[in-house]
Structure 1
Amino acid sequence: MKSLIKMTLVSGAIVLALAGCDDKNSSNKITISTDAQKEAYALGSSFATYMKSNLEQNEIKPDQKYLISGFNETFRDASQLSKDEVKTILDAFGKRIQEESKARFEKEKAENTTSGDKFRTEFAKQDGVKQTKSGLLYQIIQEGSDRHPTAQDTVIVHYTGTLIDGRKFDSSYDRSEPATFPLNGVIKGWTEGIQLIGVGGKIKLVVPPDLAYGDQSLPGQKDTAGIQPASTLVFEVELLGIDGDKNDKTQEIEPAQTQEQEQSAN
């Protein structure tokens, strides 16, 4: 479950962070010239970025009109609420947000557990799919060479990670360059799964939550999906090389080629 916003920040920093939203209906823009102005603006920008992210993660949508008025009037020592009233209101607000967040977490976890179990059961029926003792499901698309990495190795890979509904949450192909990971520093499903193929090989991994991120939630980026609690994850990984291995040549793969390979694999 995501950490909740501290109510002390809600009562202070959040109004500072969003006060600038009131400017969107105005053509007046401030001019930044001095170092002091730049520092003040940067501080406001930092607050806004942090608090906007926390508000969105916790699905909080405050009325900006009253939010900004509360900031401005209090800053002028003209608040319509006493400090005790503010504390009482924010204590109740914090409790409500916590309860809503917990309920949302439990709902997501239950739904993802059910859908993940069903997906893994169906995937296990496909040709060539095997399951390890840990519960990791895998399908070797290409064996690769006899040179297999160990858990202590650092591997060079191209990969795509998706949710079970096909939405992508990460891809080295999209960044147009391979990724390098120490195998003992990634999720358990990767540590175990990548050792099953040799250099030049390709594997599809279906990773249950306990071998992935468990009950954690990870926010998505601009063009990628987020990961909810208890998510089963799907990876297609090509092992291009082992870092420091002088006998293997890392294979460079063009993004256009890998997209065709992904389609044929699916």
Structure 2
Amino acid sequence: MTLHSPVIRATLAVLVLSLTACGKKPAEAPAPKAAVIESVDQKVSYGIGFNIGSGLARDRALAVDQAALFAGVSDGLAKAETRVKEADLEAAFQAMQQKMTAALAAEGEKQLAEGQAYLAQNKAKPGVTVTASGLQYELLATGTGAKPKETDTVKVHYHGMLTNGTVFDSSVQRGEPVEFPLTRVISGWTEALQLMSVGDKWKLTIPAGLAYGSQPKGDIPPNSVLIFEVELLGIQ
């Protein structure tokens, strides 16, 4: 089986190449020189490296060995022979994929239990309304404008948090509201915004089933309850 086999290509899409598990240990990578990032090629090269590093940093199941990672990149760019047998690489990728799957499942179970406890506590607070779907909301400011329909495009400001207060996305922090069709957002938003009037500002507490469910989304763990402060600015 070659490094270009479907199994390896599929695994690369999830893990990126890591040479830490099997075979001969690569030589320690020398300390990198101060990078010169001026030309278009240099900027693109830096951007590729930064994106790979950022993606790897988000994956808590993968302990990245930087020396091995740099050795793999260096060997690949030099079109050198791989230092690890292809069979060992495939076995390492499969082992890591199993580890990541198990870690994701454990994180999902933890978030599900914590989310259910949070929803139960939050719905008992004064001013919180719970809809038939399980969506929870409370009014922060009241407007007098029209209510959007499901087929409408709306303009909103929002501030999104996890139940522990971690901010994962915020148009307020960026200083720029967003526009989107109601059919292209999570179902909790689609439901809530049709209940709001232009000028309303609500706090939404959205169960995982009305958000991203058991799938992680960027910095959002699986089965996460999401909290949004949403201000409906207009209907386009």
For the aligned pair, the TM-score class normalised by the smaller chain equals: 0.7 to 0.9
Residue of structure 1 in register with 2:52 after alignment = 51
- Tell me if the contact between 2:205 and 2:225 (Cα under 8 Å) persists in the aligned partners: yes
Query: 58-67 vs 199-208, which deviates more?
Result: 58-67
Q: Does 1:91 align with 2:90?
A: yes
- Tell me if the contact between 2:108 and 2:223 (Cα under 8 Å) persists in the aligned partners: yes
Residue of structure 2 in register with 1:193 after alignment = 192
d(CA) in 1 for partners of 2:235 and 2:115? Answer: 32
Provide the alpha-carbon RMSD of the alignment. 3.1
Q: CA deviation at 1:25?
A: 4.4
Give 5+ residue unaligned stretches, structure 2: 1-9, 20-27
Tell me the secondary structure at the aligned position of residue 10 of structure 1.
Answer: coil
- Tell me if the contact between 1:161 and 1:235 (Cα under 8 Å) persists in the aligned partners: yes
Give 5+ residue unaligned stretches, structure 1: 13-20, 220-225, 244-266
d(CA) in 1 for partners of 2:59 and 2:17? Answer: 12
**TM-score, normalised relative to structure 1:** 0.69
- Tell me if the contact between 1:4 and 1:58 (Cα under 8 Å) persists in the aligned partners: no
Q: Does 1:234 align with 2:227?
A: yes
Tell me the secondary structure at the aligned position of residue 172 of structure 2.
Answer: coil
1:132–1:50 Cα change, 3 Å: same
Q: CA deviation at 1:102?
A: 0.8
1:142–1:110 Cα change, 3 Å: same
1:206–1:6 Cα change, 3 Å: closer
- Tell me if the contact between 2:203 and 2:229 (Cα under 8 Å) persists in the aligned partners: yes
Q: CA deviation at 1:69?
A: 4.5
- Tell me if the contact between 2:18 and 2:64 (Cα under 8 Å) persists in the aligned partners: no
Q: CA deviation at 1:61?
A: 3.7
Q: CA deviation at 1:45?
A: 3.6
1:87–1:61 Cα change, 3 Å: same
- Which of 64, 74, 79 lines up with 2:66 in the alignment? 64
d(CA) in 1 for partners of 2:14 and 2:192? Answer: 43
Residue of structure 2 in register with 1:256 after alignment = none
Tell me the secondary structure at the aligned position of residue 90 of structure 1.
Answer: helix
- Tell me if the contact between 1:217 and 1:228 (Cα under 8 Å) persists in the aligned partners: yes
- Tell me if the contact between 2:107 and 2:222 (Cα under 8 Å) persists in the aligned partners: yes
- Tell me if the contact between 1:161 and 1:171 (Cα under 8 Å) persists in the aligned partners: yes
d(CA) in 1 for partners of 2:222 and 2:59? Answer: 14
d(CA) in 1 for partners of 2:138 and 2:131? Answer: 11
Q: Does 1:209 align with 2:211?
A: no
- Tell me if the contact between 1:151 and 1:191 (Cα under 8 Å) persists in the aligned partners: yes
d(CA) in 2 for partners of 1:50 and 1:32? Answer: 18
- What one-letter code is carried by the residue in structure 1 that aligns with 2:66? Q
d(CA) in 2 for partners of 1:183 and 1:126? Answer: 28
Q: Does 1:119 align with 2:126?
A: no
- What one-letter code is carried by the residue in structure 1 that aligns with 2:165? G
d(CA) in 1 for partners of 2:107 and 2:178? Answer: 30
- What one-letter code is carried by the residue in structure 2 that aligns with 1:203? W
- Tell me if the contact between 1:7 and 1:91 (Cα under 8 Å) persists in the aligned partners: no
d(CA) in 2 for partners of 1:8 and 1:232? Answer: 27
Tell me the secondary structure at the aligned position of residue 5 of structure 1.
Answer: helix
d(CA) in 2 for partners of 1:93 and 1:242? Answer: 52
Tell me the secondary structure at the aligned position of residue 95 of structure 1.
Answer: helix
Query: 86-95 vs 53-62, which deviates more?
Result: 53-62
**TM-score, normalised relative to structure 2:** 0.77
Aligned residues: 217
1:50–1:90 Cα change, 3 Å: farther
d(CA) in 1 for partners of 2:48 and 2:130? Answer: 47
d(CA) in 2 for partners of 1:71 and 1:170? Answer: 32
Q: Where do 1:86-165 residues align within 5 Å?
A: 86-145=85-144, 147-165=146-164
d(CA) in 2 for partners of 1:76 and 1:183? Answer: 49
Tell me the secondary structure at the aligned position of residue 149 of structure 2.
Answer: coil
